[in-house]
Amino acid sequence: MIPGLKIGTKEEKVKRFYLNRRQKTLLTIVVATIILLSVVVGGVMLDQERIATNLNERNVPPSLKHLFGTDWLGRDMFTRTIMGLSLSMGVGLIGAIGSTSIALVLGIVSATMGKMADRLITWLIDLFLSVPHLVTLILIAFTLGGGFKGIVIGLMLTHWPSLARVIRAEVMQIRSAEYVQISQQMGKSSWWIAVHHIFPHLIPQLLIGFMLMFPHVILHEASVTFLGLGLSPHEPAIGIILSESMKYLSSGMWWLAFFPGLCLLIIVRTFETIGENFRMLIDPTRANEK
């Protein structure tokens, strides 16, 4: 052995490649994001002709040519599923952004505009939380006549209460900070304090709330569409695909519902994984754990 040359032990070599909690979290977020982007890009890039009617290949079970089989009109179910997931994610994105915006505005107003505004918004939050999201969503979508407009507005108006309550509590905590009190004594307006002191501290909560809200929005959109009160039957939405497949399950065409339903659950779980890991990432007490 050459004098002075140190060779690390096996444990030391393994330790060099051992990822801490932050690195594992970042890797998980990257992988999950790649999966979601692949679905979105696939929904845009896939050939539209594969979902055209082809009666010569109808009711074909899963194979190498048709990974998810074909339906009663000969349409490729893999293409329909990917397009349906992409469409549902787009609708969910609009609904989640709108619901997050409502939660932000009402949370800040409740915590900064006096006791009367706080009581009113708190009562409104309790009112919406007392009724299941899906029931309220169905009522709103039915009132607005369903379709894209009805489902998007319904999603926006039903998923904000929990996040608004979190934001309200966060804002009230920030208001008691010393630097905020100094700004008030210096004559800064409530609007200036909200923009420069309060909003920057709310960005992590908004991002986490948005990511955790997204899977619920997608599931509820698919549920309402399944019941016939959501997107148009002509759209390749997951809810439409599952609703149509119910008629053919008794004929043994199990793949019509199995693969779209499984893919929907995978996408929802992927979003939840990103939200949970992102919440862990910004927590300084847990981010660097082994």
pLDDT at 21: 66
pLDDT at 113: 77
Q: Which residues of 84-121 are buried (b: 16+ CB within 10 A; e: fewer)?
A: bbbbbbebbebbbebbbebbbebbbbbbbeeeeebeeb
- Nearest Cα to 50, choosing from 69, 35, 25? 69
pLDDT at 102: 92
CA distances to 36, 108, 258 from 77, in Å: 19, 46, 11
- Per-residue pLDDT tens over the stretch 131-158: 888 888 888 888 888 788 888 898 899 8
Question: Apex CA 110: angle with CA 108 and CA 114, to 5°?
Answer: 115
CATH number attached to the domain at 88-290: 1.10.3720.10
Q: Does 287 score more than 60 pLDDT?
A: no
Q: Does 2 score more than 80 pLDDT?
A: no
Beta bridge partners of 76: 70
pLDDT at 5: 47
Give the residue extent of every domain in the chain. Answer: 88-290
CB atoms under 10 Å from CB of 17, counted, come to 6
- Per-residue pLDDT tens over the stretch 172-223: 888 878 888 888 788 777 778 777 788 888 888 888 888 888 888 888 888 8
Query: To which residue do tokens 């970042």 refer?
Result: 26
Total length of the chain: 290
Q: Does 14 score more than 50 pLDDT?
A: no
Q: Dmax over Cα atoms in the chain, in whole Å?
A: 84
Beta bridge partners of 94: none
- Per-residue pLDDT tens over the stretch 226-260: 888 777 777 778 888 888 888 888 888 888 889 88
